[in-house]
Structure 1
Amino acid sequence: MKFLFIVQGEGRGHLTQAITLEEMLLRNGHEVVEVLVGKSSSRTLPGFFNRSIHAPVKRFISPNFLPAADSKRPSLKKSVFYNLRKIPEYFRSMCYINQRIKETGAEIVINFYELLTGLTYAFFRPAVPYVCIGHQYLFLHRDFEFPEKNFVQLWMLRFFTRMTAIRTSKKLALSFRTMEQDDVHRIVVVPPLIRQEVASIQPEEGNYIHGYMVNSGFSDSVEKFHICHPEIPLKFFWDKADTEEVTKVDETLRFYQIDDIKFLNGMAGCRAYASTAGFESICEAMYLGKPVLMVPAHIEQDCNAYDAMRAGAGIISDSFDLESLLRFAGRYTPNRNFTSWVRSCERRIIFELEETMNVVIDEMYMVESFV
């Protein structure tokens, strides 16, 4: 089968999921003909993605959230006004997506939580079926438990998620644990897409704290901890623009531009991991048996963190409270059931994608027979 990927380019998670799924499809005799990645003025495409993906990569302008003045949580007001001004550009992007779906000869489109994919299928109705993949689709599952957060924000999160999946054939919800299929919402719960590099790496327990922050404003709390505890090595990755590949504060505190190999090696050898609660890196930490401090940067990550806490991944804080992380690390026990769940990922996801294509072929055969 020929697949076309459409990937939301915000953060690291959707990009690494796309890399992993492409590897799985290639191993099973399928082909990814092209990868379309949503871009914005505030984010650059990490170099590791272009180095790791095999299919041709093309970019298009996509909606995104703008950070608040403190560069921590997104500013909803700024984001709304910014994206409203760019509606004409987004419509051109939808025309481009529709064109690529037709011209690539793709038989199935895979959507990694890109809003314009759902809107393209709403307005242009391409004939090619598409499947949505992401942890966010678990938020639409009838049995998902939400944290006690603002009702309006949770409603908006679910509404946004539905918009990314308009007219989809199936939603594959990546989850920390197994859950029943939700037929009403066309949701199948599957394991996280953990890359081969993570599965093959040998974890060790080092003496440093490893970290990742999507928004650079959280570096303030890291630096405050460092002033009080300069003896504890800290290695943090960020997406801060216009900085060196490595920003060396002193001998025990360094900030790195995101690099996949360095990030994974850092994860494998750390004492504990601190993150802005992105789903992908939490899964990697759980797989490698690392205790996690989760500092949500927006409502989606609030839900990620709550779900991960229930799965035994770690603790939640509103700042990079690394002292609490070290205390938690002293009593942390890895979730071994998670490891076996992850190892069933390829079999489950390939089955669901091939089943989707078989259903489409059967429907086409029935139509032709009727005619």
Structure 2
Amino acid sequence: MPEPRREAREGHGAAGDDRAALVRAMTGFARTLRAAGVAADHQRTQGFLAALRELGAREPCDVYWAGRLTLCSCPDDLDRYDRCFAAYFGGARPAARRVPPAATVTRFVLRPDEGAGEPGEGGEASAAATASEIEVLRHRDVARMTAVERQEVARLLGMLRSARERRTSRRRAPSHRGALDGRRTVREAVRRGGEPARPRFRDRTEKPRRVVMLVDVSGSMAPYADTLLRFAHALVRAEPRATEVFSVGTRLTRVTAELRHRDPAVAMDAVSAAIPDWSGGTRLGEELKELLRLSDPRGAIVVIASDGWERGDASLLGRQMERLSRLAHRVIWVNPHKGDPAYRPLTAGMRAALPYVTEFVAGHSLAAYEELALRLAGGTVPGAVHRGRGRPDA
């Protein structure tokens, strides 16, 4: 007698017919959910079918929970899911016999402005989310998120503790190897009364490489500006002495001091009050010229987060990018539209800037920001394309 799974896979016999009927019924349920406004796309539907195969789908309770944990993306979907389940399968919500223990992840999130306080004082907040929801949220475009999803992304960015690429400093410190430290060696010999002393050495120390980040707050970047500034807040909190942040629009505004506050909400309120040109135009060429006058980017990683819609002179932007590329260690351009496979950098601003960009990356999702943090830490991202080489240490 052949194995049931092999028989189903080959599509022969009653088992294969039953499996095909089950797949048709469940994909029809997913289509019903999509019609009701639930984001039950192809990937979620495949996860739903995989969950049913694991559970066996012998009882309505298994079908209900498998679909709820894989097809719903936010709390707003739960009521729609219950109504669609009752209408499609002809029954009310099944009793919760059991929930698969590995399907739910409970995370305890500590707010950045609170230490290890007592649980009763509100220092510890519990947030339960399914593993599938978290993974989908990581890759979802920020511009298409609901208010609840944006809050979750803001909380995850507040927890981000980005490491920083290290560079060799000019200063030297006592070390077990390196150049001979004559003064310390002589002092040690004098302390021993002129007896031969063990040689002392000193070597160069390491320090975090500076990051200068420019965040476009123009009208075309409005869906992403808040999230990018929250990412900048995480960078400033991780390395406050090695990070500078500016907003760019119709003028250049330094917002580093405002982002140094521990509480992300307070920091964002201060930034909102400090930036006078929200949702205006973009004059990147003039603002890069102003940046090179106000700040020295030599040896720094410069991150420009913009969609490249330049309202000023594109040739001026190209000249300033050329100057910047000669001074900076690396220039990373973060474009939210880069996450779309169909995107092509055809605007005049992007065409003028790209020849001088070291790395051109996406900036539309939480996963993209995590990859950007990895780049700033000196790590390598699978599939990354480098358009140039970093400058030597300055």
TM-score range, shorter chain: under 0.3
Name the TM-score, length of structure 2 as normaliser. 0.26
Bigger Rg, structure 1 or 2 = 2
Name the TM-score, length of structure 1 as normaliser. 0.27
